[in-house]
Amino acid sequence: TTLSETITRVNKLKKQLEEQKKEVERVLADQKNAREALAAKEREQADLLARTQNEEANYQKLTADRESEKARVQKAQQDAIQAAIRNAGGGGSLGITSGDGSMGGYPWAGGCTVDANALSHGGASGGGEDPLGYGCRQCVSYTAWKTYQKTGYAPRYWGNANMWPNAARNAGFSTGRTPRANALGVISAGQYGHIVYIEGYDAGSNTVRISQFNYFNAGGPGWGHYSEMTVPASTYDTYIYL
């Protein structure tokens, strides 16, 4: 065995160990995200029960009030998305289309609906969630699927769109401001943010062709539909590189 062969084996082993370390870090990060998501749901439910003292009428009223608030917040979120596009110079026609008939391969659309308050219902869990812990037909559910489709890694419980850049970095993905095909684009503004998949980048016009779920009145009336559009690359403040 030559010194060169030994060095090659050592470098190969080092690379394998680094990949294993990254995978362990991703699993640990996903477990942490899942625990935090569960704890948040438990806190919300406990608060709801405490405030109504298990009185059915009060419970239903408070639930309705929260759904109404969700609708208001979601409208403000859509306004923030459209403002980001306008500020990037995309105030004209966006060329919004229903796009790919297979909805980018998204597998969790069947049996899922999104109501007028932008809340998901049905889905894999029956309670509006997809198998990865996101509301079905929501923007994050779609980009979680695209991440898995492109990398084989399934991001679980990464939270709202504006939480994804930090979660992605914790899972070993790099982020930046440079547009790139097969990346994810994030608008951080608003309570939830918005996230899309970058189908392609045109350097000449500095625009990106994107696919997405849950852009209001795109691909169908109301929330929860698949659509595609072309927007200025600077619409997205962060890109996550898959």
Q: Across the beta sheet with 194-202, what order do the strands follow?
A: 174-176, 238-241, 183-187, 194-202, 207-213, 226-232
The structure tokens 């000449």 sit at 204
Q: Which residue has the higher pLDDT, 94 or 82?
A: 82
Distance CA 174, CA 2 (A): 37
Look at residue 26 and tell me whether its pLDDT is greater than 60. yes
Task: Select the highest-mean-pLDDT range: 47-51, 81-85, 94-98, 234-238.
Answer: 234-238
Look at residue 93 and tell me whether its pLDDT is greater than 60. no
pLDDT by residue (tens digit) across 198-239? 999 999 999 999 999 999 999 999 999 999 999 999 999 999
Q: What are the two backbone dihedrals, phi and then psi, of residue 144, each rounded to the nearest 5 degrees?
A: -65, -45
Distance CA 134, CA 160 (A): 9
pLDDT of res. 48: 61
Distance CA 190, CA 133 (A): 21
User: Average pLDDT, stretch 77-101?
Assistant: 83
Look at residue 194 and tell me whether its pLDDT is greater than 60. yes
Kindly provide the b/e burial profile for residues 189-227, where b requires at least 16 CB atoms within 10 angstroms of the residue's own CB: bbebbbbbbbbebeeeeebbbbbbbbbbebbeeebbbbb
pLDDT of res. 91: 63
CB of 157 within 8 A of CB of 145? Answer: no
Distance CA 96, CA 204 (A): 20
Mark residue 206 as left, alpha or beta (left: phi above 0; alpha: psi -120 to 50; beta: remaining): left
Task: Identify the band that residue 177 occupies on the pLDDT scale cut at 50, 70 and 90.
Answer: very high
pLDDT of res. 59: 60
Q: What are the two backbone dihedrals, phi and then psi, of residue 97, each rounded to the nearest 5 degrees?
A: -135, 165
Task: Identify the band that residue 107 occupies on the pLDDT scale cut at 50, 70 and 90.
Answer: very high
Task: Give pTM, 2 decimals.
Answer: 0.78
Q: Which CATH number fits domain 3-241: 3.30.565.10, 3.40.50.880, 3.40.50.720, 3.90.1720.10?
A: 3.90.1720.10
Look at residue 113 and tell me whether its pLDDT is greater than 60. yes
Look at residue 131 and tell me whether its pLDDT is greater than 90. yes
Task: Identify the band that residue 56 occupies on the pLDDT scale cut at 50, 70 and 90.
Answer: low
The residues with which 202 forms a beta bridge, in sequence order, are 207
Look at residue 57 and tell me whether its pLDDT is greater than 70. no
For the chain, which residues make up each domain, given as ranges?
3-241
pLDDT of res. 27: 76
Helix (H) or strand (E) holding 227: strand 226-232
Distance CA 47, CA 180 (A): 43
Average pLDDT, the chain: 88
pLDDT of res. 51: 64
Q: What percent of the chain has pLDDT over 70?
A: 88
